[in-house]
Chains A and B, each alone.
Chain A
Amino acid sequence: MRPSLRNESDIPVLSGTRLSRRLGLLGTVAFLLPSVTWLLSLSGSYVVEDFACTAAASADAPPSTAALRAILIGSNVVLMAVTLLAGIAGWWLLRKARSSDTDAMYAFFGWTVLAFAILYAFSIVLIGIHPLLLEVCA
């Protein structure tokens, strides 16, 4: 056999069926997504609050605290929704695994994605409630 550099048919398939490319991709994206939304939630909140307030202070133009508060809460709500969306993908993968019982990978992705989504959604809530508890740009 003379394998070409591109051809993937020469890769042996382990355990019967090959992991579907699309489901593998979905699993990977859903696996990473909650971490990304959480990082965006924290860094976005920090940047909006700190940079906006500092820049306003050094330019001597007090920002609209109501607007900042709305931005902070709104963006965190959106990010939480995206996180939960990943969780739904996890749930779907889990059901997929149960119905087909071929690949433990789907179950693994399902469980982990679900757990990630719940953990990070809760954590985004903890970040997102702070504009209600404390003054913006105090």
Chain B
Amino acid sequence: MTADSVTDLDDRFDGTWSNPRGFRGFFSVVQHKDVGMRYMVTAFVLFLIGGVQAMFLRVQLAQPENDFLGPETYNELFTMHGTTMMFLFAIPFLEGLASYLLPLMIGSRDLPFPRYNVFNYWCYLLGGLILYSSFLFALVPDAGWFSYVPLSGPDFADRSMDFWLFGLTLAEIAAVGAAIEISVAILRTRAPGMTLNRMPIFAWTMLAVAFLIIVAFVPLIVASVLLELDRAVGTAFFDINAGGSPLLWQHLFWIFGHPEVYVMFLPGAAIISHVIPAHSGRPLVAYPLVVVALASTAVMSLGLWVHHMYTTGLPSLTMSFFTAASMSITLASGLQVFAWIATLWLGKPRFTVPMLYSLGFVVTFVLGGITGVMVASVALDTQVHDTYFVVAHFHYVLIGGMLFPVFAALHHWWGKVTGRHYARRPAVIAFWLVFVGFHVTFFPMHLSGLWGMPRRVYTYEQELGVGLVNLISTVGAFVIAAGVVLLTVNLVISHRRGAPVGVETGDSLEWTTSSPPPSENWRRIPMVTSRNPGWDRDEPVDADTRAALDEAFDARPVEFRATPLTTVLSAEPDGAVLLPRSTYWPLVTPVGLAILAVALLTQWYPLSAVGVVVGIVGLAGWAWRNESEYRVEHVRPLAGRFQFEAHGTRSIGWWAAASASIVIVVAVATLTFSALYLQVNASVWPLEDTVGEPVRFTAVAAALLAGLGVTWRAARQGRHELWDLSRPEVRRAQFIAVAVAMCAAVIALVLLVPLWLGDLDPAAHAYESSVWTLLGAQVLAILAALAMTIAALHARMRHRRDARTGLLLHAAALLWAAAAVSWAMVWMTSDLLPRLVI
């Protein structure tokens, strides 16, 4: 090959990876670093807004019986402060950080589904805008960040709650999407050689967090939908007069809410697990134990939710199970703290800015953990629950456990991300302001709580004797604010004028690429041979594999974007994934969802049809564009061996479909739990007879199993074939399978929809409300399976080769399976179990 043609190939490679700039770029870029950066910037702006709200709250509480804010304004501001910090800052910021860092840390060129990633960002942004538009209409939500019913229900809250519900639901859809993105990225797109036991702690953590988000955030979306149905349709899920229960909301909310705390804390801890080793020059001590600690923290966090409900009158034994669980989690957290201290002990810690934040984190978080053990005790919690003691506790855990690490991360990776140094002196001063200000603000809150000050009070009387401690808290809040402003200004200035960074090192892989990283992250895909690839760069690698990888991925492929796929456990390269370039399509569906939300908010229902149409057009356009990219010349195996369209779990699409199926099953399971919970707690259930019609229900089951069977079978056909083969009999079988599956879907819908929209009166009783909602969810599950089947048909008509259609049929089969499983749950809950009671 001549020098010229090499340069030419290099140019084409760069052209493939270049992104449009400016206005066009803003709406069309899908690359993970741009999207991650956007997430982080948006979230940081919202963090500053939430901080300003907190300052208003603190000024109001500076002295007893103050009248700086009225009660309505105060209640709105504390609701928005909590909602903003939890839903619009903490979670999205960490998603953004993961979106930016993960591919760099695990050695891939982009996330596996870049368009889905930006789709999620748009959902988050539009959700945030909808929530904040409530200020324009003076309909600011004021029911607190956990919005207990009945206060947030149809009888007591005005339309402000609808802003809250729609805004949050969009943001949560984004979170669930990010979780799918992150988990598939970590499981399947790690650099060759990055076996599970060499995975960076941040990747382990995000994997655990993604699992938490899928099992815990879906219940929140379901709960929000149920509450909105109560408010808009008049269902009775939370209505005590018709079989509902206000405690159902608390269960659902905290099944989400407690894991959410760990969704924020665990990435914080992971940041510390990288910062401490990097700044003390020693690998993390007891790596396997830290993995155990973070994984068990994630699992145990699913079993703590009842400790938010100790005062609701549950049986003592029930509550004590959760005391045991809440206390056990200390063991896991403790393990991580010990590992960090041991790393410092064995290393040579340098007092850099990220290290200062890490030390501040340990000191603060441990205190928050100790008060956490205190509130885990039922007896003590009945006193301190809903007081400022708890406010102090969770700010120690969240600011100490999440914000300090985020600030550590900002400084640790600042040079990597921007390519510039920040000024050290102002950064150190900002740290001390934030750290001292934090303790001055929040330590006294333990006292004000113990002295009897409940949370969420816009004022307190002189006689309570908490004036002085509150004044101290307010002074501290201003010190924190000064620190945050200094930190922000320092970083913004350094972004424009900072000196360029030279070579920086750290333990993980991202330090082996340039700062800032190029669009493709690595021209040559790295191979990993140790747990600390940032340090151990020169170890010999497997030469054959290295050569094969280079042939496929060293500034290759040039015409389209691609990154290797590797196996889950041992990260052996077993394929490649085609990555999309910039496109507007992922923006369309979120806009449709936002239009839908606006239509429902304004109760101008014709507009909702527009929203649905825009949403569907967005998805269809996306699917069309997707098939256009899967051209035959794009999916030729790279270097003759890295395949794009290998069968089953070896293709990336399988993982997307499997994740979607899990989300559907979790959602329907949540609905099932809700219905069973109400059934157990209601005196009469159902009122007269169940809706069950054995013939019809069996027919639906048969249709769903038929859909599953034919798609599954057709997906298996031709799986041993060559990648570009096209055989008439396979082609025919695929067409038949698609036709049968579509008929099955139509039959199932024809059977279900009349029942769903027929005689059921969702407002009559919680039983009918839950059946109505379950049937609705089932219809959506069937529509998802149908849509995937249509996508397979679309692929069949667009491509000559059989493999692509086979893959999409496999994906459809997974969704059919989800529909069948969810039907089993729906049938059981709506008919079989209530029948037991009659």
Q: Per-residue CB proximity of A38-49 to B under 8 Å, as 1/0?
A: 110011011001
Residue A35 lies at the interface, judged by CB distance under 8 Å to chain B: yes
- Given A14-B542, A28-B569, A58-B680: A39 and B288 within 8 A (CB)? no
Collect the chain A residues with CB atoms within 8 Å of residue B632's CB.
none
Q: Are A11 and B315 in contact (CB under 8 A)?
A: no
Residue A22 lies at the interface, judged by CB distance under 8 Å to chain B: no
Collect the chain A residues with CB atoms within 8 Å of residue B803's CB.
5
Q: Are A115 and B196 in contact (CB under 8 A)?
A: no
Collect the chain A residues with CB atoms within 8 Å of residue B289's CB.
111-112, 115
Complex Cα distance A126/B719, Å?
50
Q: Are A130 and B720 in contact (CB under 8 A)?
A: no
- Given A105-B195, A126-B327, A134-B316: A116 and B569 within 8 A (CB)? no
Interface residues of A in 20-43 (CB under 8 A from B): 24, 27-28, 35, 38-39, 42-43
Complex Cα distance A3/B645, Å?
11
Complex Cα distance A122/B324, Å?
10
Complex Cα distance A78/B328, Å?
19
Within 8 Å by CB of A5, from B315, B320, B641, B645, lies B645
Q: How many residues on chain A are close to B (CB under 8 Å)?
A: 54
Collect the chain B residues with CB atoms within 8 Å of residue A134's CB.
316-317, 320
Q: Are B324 and A49 in contact (CB under 8 A)?
A: no
Collect the chain A residues with CB atoms within 8 Å of residue B328's CB.
119, 122-123, 126
Residue A19 lies at the interface, judged by CB distance under 8 Å to chain B: yes
Residue B683 lies at the interface, judged by CB distance under 8 Å to chain A: yes
Complex Cα distance A114/B331, Å?
15
Q: Per-residue CB proximity of A116-138 to B under 8 Å, as 1/0?
A: 10011011001100110111111
Q: Are A14 and B569 in contact (CB under 8 A)?
A: no
Residue B811 lies at the interface, judged by CB distance under 8 Å to chain A: no
Within 8 Å by CB of A49, from B296, B299, B317, lies B317
Within 8 Å by CB of B288, from A38, A51, A108, A130, lies A108
Residue B291 lies at the interface, judged by CB distance under 8 Å to chain A: yes
Residue B341 lies at the interface, judged by CB distance under 8 Å to chain A: no
- Given A14-B193, A38-B300, A104-B197: A2 and B722 within 8 A (CB)? yes
Q: Are B641 and A19 in contact (CB under 8 A)?
A: no
Complex Cα distance A134/B67, Å?
48
Collect the chain A residues with CB atoms within 8 Å of residue B296's CB.
35, 116, 119-120
Complex Cα distance A109/B322, Å?
29
Task: Specify the chain B residue showing the minimal Cβ separation from A50.
Answer: B318
Minimum CB–CB distance from A44 to chain B (whole Å) comes to 10
Collect the chain A residues with CB atoms within 8 Å of residue B544's CB.
12
Residue A101 lies at the interface, judged by CB distance under 8 Å to chain B: no
Interface residues of B in 573-628 (CB under 8 A from A): 573-574
Minimum CB–CB distance from A5 to chain B (whole Å) comes to 5
- Given A3-B643, A5-B647: A39 and B303 within 8 A (CB)? yes
Collect the chain B residues with CB atoms within 8 Å of residue A53's CB.
315
Query: In the complex, which range does the number of interface residues on chain B fall in?
Result: 35 or more
Interface residues of B in 174-194 (CB under 8 A from A): 192-193
Minimum CB–CB distance from A111 to chain B (whole Å) comes to 4
Complex Cα distance A80/B573, Å?
38
Complex Cα distance A55/B295, Å?
35
Which applies to chain A's interface (DSSP): helix, strand, loop or mixed? helix
Q: Are A45 and B321 in contact (CB under 8 A)?
A: yes
Collect the chain A residues with CB atoms within 8 Å of residue B641's CB.
1, 3, 10, 12
Q: Are A42 and B681 in contact (CB under 8 A)?
A: no
Q: Are B292 and A133 in contact (CB under 8 A)?
A: no
Residue A54 lies at the interface, judged by CB distance under 8 Å to chain B: yes
Residue B325 lies at the interface, judged by CB distance under 8 Å to chain A: yes
Q: Are A135 and B681 in contact (CB under 8 A)?
A: no
Q: Are A58 and B288 in contact (CB under 8 A)?
A: no
Task: Specify the chain B residue showing the minimal Cβ separation from A35.
Answer: B299
Complex Cα distance A131/B317, Å?
7
Complex Cα distance A2/B322, Å?
57
Q: Are B572 and A12 in contact (CB under 8 A)?
A: yes
Within 8 Å by CB of B569, from A38, A51, A105, lies A105
Collect the chain B residues with CB atoms within 8 Å of residue A28's CB.
569
Collect the chain A residues with CB atoms within 8 Å of residue B739's CB.
none
Residue B809 lies at the interface, judged by CB distance under 8 Å to chain A: no
Q: Per-residue CB proximity of A84-108 to B under 8 Å, as 1/0?
A: 0000000000000000000011011
Q: Are B723 and A5 in contact (CB under 8 A)?
A: yes
Collect the chain B residues with CB atoms within 8 Å of residue A27's CB.
569
- Given A46-B306, A108-B288, A119-B332: A1 and B324 within 8 A (CB)? no
Task: Specify the chain A residue showing the minimal Cβ separation from B679.
Answer: A55
Minimum CB–CB distance from A106 to chain B (whole Å) comes to 9
Residue B314 lies at the interface, judged by CB distance under 8 Å to chain A: yes
Complex Cα distance A105/B198, Å?
9
Q: Are A39 and B320 in contact (CB under 8 A)?
A: no
Residue B302 lies at the interface, judged by CB distance under 8 Å to chain A: yes
Complex Cα distance A135/B320, Å?
11
Minimum CB–CB distance from A109 to chain B (whole Å) comes to 8
Collect the chain B residues with CB atoms within 8 Å of residue A127's CB.
321, 324-325
Interface residues of B in 281-334 (CB under 8 A from A): 288-289, 291-292, 295-296, 299-300, 302-303, 306, 314-318, 320-322, 324-325, 327-328, 331-332
- Given A10-B641, A38-B300, A112-B291: A123 and B315 within 8 A (CB)? no
Q: Per-residue CB proximity of B681-692 to A under 8 Å, as 1/0?
A: 111000000000
Collect the chain A residues with CB atoms within 8 Å of residue B331's CB.
119, 122-123
Q: Are B292 and A115 in contact (CB under 8 A)?
A: yes
- Given A58-B682, A116-B296, A123-B328: A24 and B317 within 8 A (CB)? no
Task: Specify the chain B residue showing the minimal Cβ separation from A9.
Answer: B641
Complex Cα distance A13/B648, Å?
20
Complex Cα distance A54/B263, Å?
32
Most buried by A among B327, B328, B545, B721: B328
Minimum CB–CB distance from A53 to chain B (whole Å) comes to 6
Most buried by B among A115, A122, A137: A115
Q: Are B292 and A12 in contact (CB under 8 A)?
A: no
Collect the chain A residues with CB atoms within 8 Å of residue B295's CB.
35, 116
Q: Are B317 and A138 in contact (CB under 8 A)?
A: yes
Complex Cα distance A51/B682, Å?
12
Complex Cα distance A63/B718, Å?
58
Complex Cα distance A123/B332, Å?
11
Q: Are A12 and B573 in contact (CB under 8 A)?
A: yes
Q: Are B680 and A15 in contact (CB under 8 A)?
A: no
Residue B570 lies at the interface, judged by CB distance under 8 Å to chain A: yes
Most buried by B among A1, A13, A45: A45
Residue B640 lies at the interface, judged by CB distance under 8 Å to chain A: yes
Complex Cα distance A134/B319, Å?
11
Collect the chain B residues with CB atoms within 8 Å of residue A18's CB.
570, 572
Residue B29 lies at the interface, judged by CB distance under 8 Å to chain A: no
Residue B453 lies at the interface, judged by CB distance under 8 Å to chain A: no
Collect the chain A residues with CB atoms within 8 Å of residue B299's CB.
35, 38-39
Residue B571 lies at the interface, judged by CB distance under 8 Å to chain A: yes
- Given A122-B331, A126-B324, A138-B315: A108 and B196 within 8 A (CB)? yes
Q: Are A6 and B647 in contact (CB under 8 A)?
A: yes
Complex Cα distance A119/B292, Å?
9
A-B contacts, 16 of them at CB < 8 A, read A1-B641, A12-B544, A15-B193, A24-B570, A28-B569, A35-B299, A46-B318, A49-B315, A53-B315, A58-B680, A58-B681, A115-B289, A122-B331, A126-B328, A130-B317, A134-B317
4 closest A-B pairs (Cβ-Cβ)? A108-B197, A123-B328, A126-B324, A12-B545
Residues of chain A having any CB pair with chain B under 8 Å: 1-6, 8, 10-15, 18-19, 24, 27-28, 35, 38-39, 42-43, 45-46, 49-51, 53-55, 58, 104-105, 107-108, 111-112, 115-116, 119-120, 122-123, 126-127, 130-131, 133-138
Supplied contacts A4-B722, A12-B573, A127-B325, 10 more A-B pairs, CB within 8 Å: A5-B803, A14-B527, A39-B302, A42-B303, A46-B321, A54-B680, A119-B296, A130-B324, A131-B317, A133-B320
Residues of chain B having any CB pair with chain A under 8 Å: 192-193, 195-197, 288-289, 291-292, 295-296, 299-300, 302-303, 306, 314-318, 320-322, 324-325, 327-328, 331-332, 527, 542, 544-545, 548, 567, 569-574, 637, 640-641, 643, 645-647, 680-683, 718-723, 803
